[in-house]
Amino acid sequence: MSTPQTSVPQAPQRPGGLSRRTTWLLVVVLLAVVIGAIGQLVKMPYAIFSPGPAQDTLGKTDNRDIIAISGTQTYPTSGRLDFTTVSLYGGPNYPVTFWQWLRAKTDSDSKIVPEEQVFPKGVTGKQVEQENTAEMVGSQEAAEVVGLRAAGKKVGETVTVGAIGKGRPAEGRLKVGDRIETINGGPATTLSAVHDRMDVVTPGSPVQIVVTRAGARQTVSVPTAKDPETGRAVIGISLAPKYTFPFKVAVNAGDVGGPSAGLMFSLAIYDKITPGPLTGGKEFAGTGTIDTEGTVGPIGGIQQKMVGARDDGVDYFLAPASNCGDVKGHVPDGLTVVKVGTFDEARTAIEKVAKGQTSGLPSCG
């Protein structure tokens, strides 16, 4: 006797139907799209510093010299004097998304800080842009003053009263726009001269200030107060220096804002108007603010700027002495960091390296 064969009938498939595998795949893709979109929409209360590009101040950007000088003799340069940048995310213009925050958490070259450390609460995007632009313009002017004076060029200078603090000793005595001529009988027509004159004043003693107001000179007696932080005598004004340059210097830095390229701008200006390449063909990068007296000031994001310099292939990095705490322990392999506190120190360090005298350069330890 034969055993009967049995079979299980298959469910008919509907024409054009999706298999279970395809359906699940579509669900996964849809979820990924939704999660990705949510990650882009969620804003994180942080600012992120990441390494940005470096630009050679002796070179060009958008087919224009970064430092363009006309009206005087210029000289050939060599090597590189790079100013370094950071890519900064956060604030009202570029709020940090969840995905940017997550990437930065896994990137050892990026730094995450609370947003309010960089962008004060309530600041608008336009205010941030205006501040960055103003700082860059001020930095360029200071660099021009320092570079030209270091090269022996005469830069005319006058100092006027830019602002007067409410309730401060100068209120009701000096006026915004007054041009300062002398303090206690001594010339005070430059920022450094004003500071020197005030440094020897005993807090509480009045000062006799000769100003030019509406074209006429007059003497004003102004009481002083003691600055609680420095102990110096102050009268409660902000100074607004004005400069007269012997020829034209234009800085074309693209869309870079802020004051941190001041040191490198001043070195490039000096290099272009003095005989012989300052660098001796060597490649340098650096950062730091500069004031008109040649003092180099601290900046933010120096660790990321050192990474950018290393990625650009330079060997030497000029770092503000006041940033040494952030430099220690974070110097990329292959990069030599030189500590500088003034324009003269930076220039001297470059000249030594150019001559092959690389031992004993000041460092952050």
Higher pLDDT, 8 or 36: 36
In sequence order, the β-bridge partners of residue 240 are 160
Q: Which of 244, 275, 308 is the last residue of a domain?
A: 244
Domain count, the chain: 2
User: For position 93, what pLDDT does the model report?
Assistant: 83
Considering the domain boundaries, does residue 228 fall inside one?
Answer: yes
Q: Which of 221, 244, 267 is the last residue of a domain?
A: 244
The torsion defined by the Cα of 124, 127, 132 and 135, in degrees rounded to 10, comes to -140
- pTM for the structure as a whole: 0.81
Reference 75, options 279, 289, 323, 327; nearest CA is: 279
**166 pLDDT more than 50:** yes
Whole-angstrom distance, CA of residue 156 vs CA of residue 32 = 64
Contact 314, 80 (CB under 8 A): yes
Reference 331, options 365, 298, 360; nearest CA is: 365
CATH number at residue 184: 2.30.42.10
User: pLDDT digits over 69-92, tens only?
Assistant: 999 999 999 999 999 998 888 888
**11 pLDDT more than 70:** no
Considering the domain boundaries, does residue 266 fall inside one?
Answer: yes
Residues marked as catalytic: 260, 305
Q: Which of 244, 259, 286 is the last residue of a domain?
A: 244
Higher pLDDT, 291 or 134: 291
b vs e for 166-180, b when ≥16 Cβ sit within 10 Å of the residue's Cβ?
eebbbeebbeeebbb
Indicate if 178 and 301 belong to the same structural domain.
Answer: no
Indicate if 252 and 347 belong to the same structural domain.
Answer: yes
**1 pLDDT more than 50:** no
Domain span including residue 299? 48-153+248-354
